[in-house]
Amino acid sequence: MSPKITTELLKQLRQVMKNPKFVQEPVQAYIVPSGDAHQSEYIAPCDCRRAFISGFDGSAGTAIVTEQQAAMWTDGRYFLQAAQQMDNNWTLMKMGLKDTPTQEDWLVSVLPEGSKVGVDPFIIPADQWKRMSKALRSAGHDLVPIQENLIDTIWADCPQRPCKPLITLDLSYTGVSWRDKIVALRSKMAERKVMWFVVTALDEVAWLFNLRGSDVEYNPVFFAYAVIGMNTIRLFIDGDRMMDPAVREHLQLDSTLEPEFKIQVMPYGSILSELQAVGAGLSPKEKVWLSDKASYALTEAVPKAYRYLTPYTPICIAKAVKNTSETEGMRRAHIKDAVALCELFNWLEKEVPKGTITEIIAADKAEEFRSQQKDFVELSFATISSTGPNGAIIHYKPVPETNRTLSVNEIYLLDSGAQYKDGTTDVTRTMHFGTPSAYEKECFTYVLKGHIAVSAAIFPNGTKGHLLDSFARSSLWDCGLDYLHGTGHGVGSFLNVHEGPCGISYKTFADEPLEAGMIVSDEPGYYEDGSFGIRIENVVLVIPAETKYNFKNRGSLTFEPLTLVPIQTKMIDVNLLTQKECNWVNDYHQKCREVVGAELERQGRHEALQWLIRETEPLVRVQ
């Protein structure tokens, strides 16, 4: 990997930082965050501005360019990659290390007195603006919004913002019509006494209107905003997508509707002026509900006294609780996904010993098998196909420079998933195609025990996911082992593979209580730098649990695995399992065999079926 040469680009950026065409007053520093205007985790190429200016294209990082310097903040996952991708114009700021200054502290230390620091107000979330602005102000500087993005002004071949056709989802997929979702949203608004709700996250717009898109890779979303009033619906979206008859019918754009369900379609770029108009017309007590992560630009459009900010929007919370149509769809999607993986693993078992299968070939083959399944749309994230030491790199993605050949001597870790029209999958299996060592089996078994501890946990209604995180680690901890990532994340229903507001993590975050219908991943791991990685991941559905007693009538919950892919028994040291854990594995494999076996049979995939039957032989524990 050779670094991007940025000397000329930085020179151009520093010129526009002083150019009155773009800035009212010259700015002495310009901040280039990672995100887009919707605070998306995955972004479109046209939004990869930080990668364009610096060369560093990891998923997290903030660039700051001053008149003399250029600095990049990123976290431990990306220290190496950033150092390789950036030239000498850039200073790498290693976040999490003790001596690394915060962006604010660094700015204060390098800026001349009374400086102006510019940032695109659409890209910076309001809460970050507030913190940065306060720190700069107390040191005599000013954070100023620059309406035109300065990177865009120097980005000659900047890709167009995608504007791809939409997919309409009918009731059989969504279970609830967009009209009913609007009714439910308005009732939440009434409860909180707010008159307007601004939808800024792309997956929230998609969910609300039962539409999907493909503007962003892996995430079936489209660029849009919405502003929902008690009697109005405004959808801000570009292109001729609203000309599509299927979309017009789905949204009933040409029907005679009660006025409160009439959708006004407006240009994507007009959100700010429309919201400002809404803001200007507010009478006392007419609050506007926004996510506290919405952009500074949109937040500022509403006068402070009228803002109602929450960490999670009512859509985010409603979206997390899947209805029967959605869970049934998720079940179907996971069966199809399991069929593809049975085919893949059967194929790998035969091909790996030949020494011709690389990580990239394996990943491509996984995609090929998935794409044969009904309603396959695309992958849900970049496949992590990693063998040997690459498996220890938690966010690894094989590229030609790192591409390693699978062998019978190394552990292989595959973390992959897909978007189907009926659901989103995300599964990790760790395999050995030869004979694993006793130590590898031992570590795998601890990870498995942690996986089971979460999956089989019974807990009271209203429990927050972070309270389950230690269950996943306990067996590893007993031997002095651990893994440095959370245990689970929310999963969307044919939507983003990572979604809020629930999860399972030791990191204290404001997760909402788990409730029946929520879907999360269960993915403990163990990683040994330079040698191997182990992770066992199922997507699991929160379901009611039957218990002997029922304290305070609260009811209990547990998980049902949606993922139905065998866990390689060759990797298990059965004697480290309790009888209960052993039964869990056998019951799980029995279900895989029955449910996925039937589908393999139906699809005539006999060889994969034989593989499934072999891989789901019951474990026997020696007492």
Rule CB under 8 A: which residues touch a second copy?
457-460, 466-471, 473-474, 476-482, 506, 508, 547-552, 554, 556
Q: Strand, helix or coil at 72? A: strand
Report how far apart, in Å, the C-alpha atoms of 526 and of each of 78, 448, 533 are.
Answer: 19, 10, 6
State which residue, 269 or 439, has the beta carbon closest to a second copy. 439
Tokens 């052993």 label which residue? 582
State which residue, 457 or 495, has the beta carbon closest to a second copy. 457
Which two tokens mark 476?
């590893």
State which residue, 409 or 547, has the beta carbon closest to a second copy. 547
State which residue, 20 or 549, has the beta carbon closest to a second copy. 549
**551 burial via Cβ count (<10 Å: 0-12, 13-18, 19+):** exposed
Cβ 508 to a second copy shortest distance, Å: 5
Q: What is the rounded (10 degree) CA torsion for 208, 213, 215, 217? A: 100
CB 42 within 8 A of CB 218: yes
Q: Give the whole-angstrom CA distance, residue 263 versus residue 355.
A: 58
Q: Give the whole-angstrom CA distance, residue 122 versus residue 597.
A: 50
Report how far apart, in Å, the C-alpha atoms of 54 and of each of 31, 58, 122, 191, 552 are.
Answer: 12, 11, 20, 47, 57
State which residue, 197 or 471, has the beta carbon closest to a second copy. 471
Cβ 524 to a second copy shortest distance, Å: 13
Cβ 93 to a second copy shortest distance, Å: 22
State which residue, 330 or 468, has the beta carbon closest to a second copy. 468
Cβ 23 to a second copy shortest distance, Å: 31
Cβ 230 to a second copy shortest distance, Å: 24
Cβ 221 to a second copy shortest distance, Å: 31
Cβ 236 to a second copy shortest distance, Å: 32
Cβ 445 to a second copy shortest distance, Å: 13
Half-sphere exposure of 615 (CA within 13 A, CB side): 30
Q: Give the whole-angstrom CA distance, residue 216 versus residue 161.
A: 10
Cβ 98 to a second copy shortest distance, Å: 12
State which residue, 434 or 462, has the beta carbon closest to a second copy. 462
Nearest to 541 by CA among 470, 417, 455, 419: 455
Which two tokens mark 520?
């999360």
Burial per residue of 493-505, b for 16 or more beta-carbon CB atoms within 10 angstroms, e otherwise:
bbbbbbbbbbbbb
State which residue, 180 or 482, has the beta carbon closest to a second copy. 482
* Ramachandran sector of residue 21 (left: φ over 0; alpha: ψ -120 to 50; beta: rest): alpha
State which residue, 344 or 443, has the beta carbon closest to a second copy. 443
Rg (CA), the chain: 26
